[in-house]
Amino acid sequence: MSIRSEVIAQFQKVAKEQDKCLAPLTDDLSFLDSGLDSLCFAIIVTRLEDSLGLDPFTSAEDNGFPVTLGEFIKFYENAAK
């Protein structure tokens, strides 16, 4: 499974579990408009660490938290390189 599809799958899964209405997942979707709250993002990051074995937030230099879905996916893809 590609990183992109795994990230998107987790967004959908967590939104469903947490009973949130998820906006259409496009690369330029801003997290503020996604319908998810910070707890949802915390859960997504935890699940991706489990499934991809990646934790880009500790390995990356201080680049700040990505703000769109496209940046987020890129963030994980870069960490996998």
- Minimum CB separation from another protein for residue 64, in Å? 10
Which residues contact another protein by CB under 8 A?
17-18, 38-39, 41-43, 45-47, 49-50, 57-58, 65
Q: Measured at the alpha carbon of residue 40, what is the angle toward residues 11 and 48, in degrees to the nearest 5?
A: 55
- Minimum CB separation from another protein for residue 21, in Å? 16
Asked if 51 and 6 count as a contact pair (C-beta separation under 8 A), the reply is yes
- Minimum CB separation from another protein for residue 9, in Å? 13
